[in-house]
Chains A and B, each alone.
Chain A
Amino acid sequence: KAGVTQTPRYLIKTRGQQVTLSCSPISGHRSVSWYQQTPGQGLQFLFEYFSETQRNKGNFPGRFSGRQFSNSRSEMNVSTLELGDSALYLCASSLIRSSGASTDTQYFGPGTRLTVL
């Protein structure tokens, strides 16, 4: 099976702009989670989508949003970019067998490196 794919791999934006990142999960995986990785804060959970619904959300401002489509592909959007949003954004998918299931192994994509100038 193909792994998790993320596009684009690299992005350069300026402050105030907005950006959309895309993630395609492993075939059959219904849950997609997003993480932000920075040298200062480490890896932090942004949100998780399952069956087109946001099921869990981390402690990030409303400028960070996401959505999931019927084919489980997910996008995350960051509006009004700030310098501190520069980070590696990682997407992970997992095979959640039912809406009530708890943790399953998350498999990560290669990430999108966002630089805000």
Chain B
Amino acid sequence: AQTVTQSQPEMSVQEAETVTLSCTYDTSESNYYLFWYKQPPSRQMILVIRQEAYKQQNATENRFSVNFQKAAKSFSLKISDSQLGDTAMYFCALGSGSRLTFGEGTQLTVNP
């Protein structure tokens, strides 16, 4: 069985500052992918960033970057220069085959 754990139900950050969201996972698969999705109040699930487990280099996407520690099964998301539009629920997800396993989510609030 695959599990994804997000231990921070809520976080807040001031606009323009940096925040890191934590995620740990467990899987017996050797070929898998990791994702961060955001879900704003509109409930639309939006892809933030993706990491292939076989790649050692951490993925980056503009202000978003990850710290992927494969041995520790850790996959954290760093948001730099936080913006008000980053306010959303953030989900960490593990993909293996055609199935995504999601964490419980972290509600991030960016304060002006």
Chain A residues within CB distance 8 Å of chain B = 31, 33, 35, 42-43, 45, 48, 50, 55-56, 58, 88, 90, 92, 94, 96, 102-103, 105-108, 110-111, 113
Contact = CB atoms under 8 A, between A and B. Distances in A.
Interface residues of B, number: 24
Nearest to A56: B98
Interface of B: 31-33, 35, 37, 42-47, 50, 91, 95-105
Contacts of B45: 90, 92, 108, 111
Q: Is the interface of A mostly helix, strand, loop or mixed?
A: strand
A81 B98 CA distance: 27
Nearest to B37: A108
Given A42-B104, A43-B91, 14 more contacts: A42-B102, A42-B105, A43-B102, A48-B98, A92-B45, A102-B31, A103-B33, A105-B33, A105-B35, A105-B50, A108-B37, A108-B45, A110-B42, A111-B45
Contacts of B37: 108
B44 A110 contact: yes
Contacts of A48: 98-99
A55 B97 CA distance: 10
Contacts, number: 58
B98 A108 contact: no
Contacts of B102: 42-43
A106 B102 CA distance: 13
Contacts of B33: 103, 105
A102 B44 CA distance: 24
B3 to A, nearest CB: 12
27 contacts: A33-B100, A35-B100, A42-B103, A42-B105, A43-B91, A45-B99, A48-B98, A50-B98, A55-B98, A56-B97, A88-B43, A90-B45, A92-B45, A102-B97, A103-B33, A103-B95, A103-B96, A103-B98, A105-B33, A105-B35, A105-B47, A105-B50, A106-B95, A106-B100, A110-B42, A110-B44, A111-B45
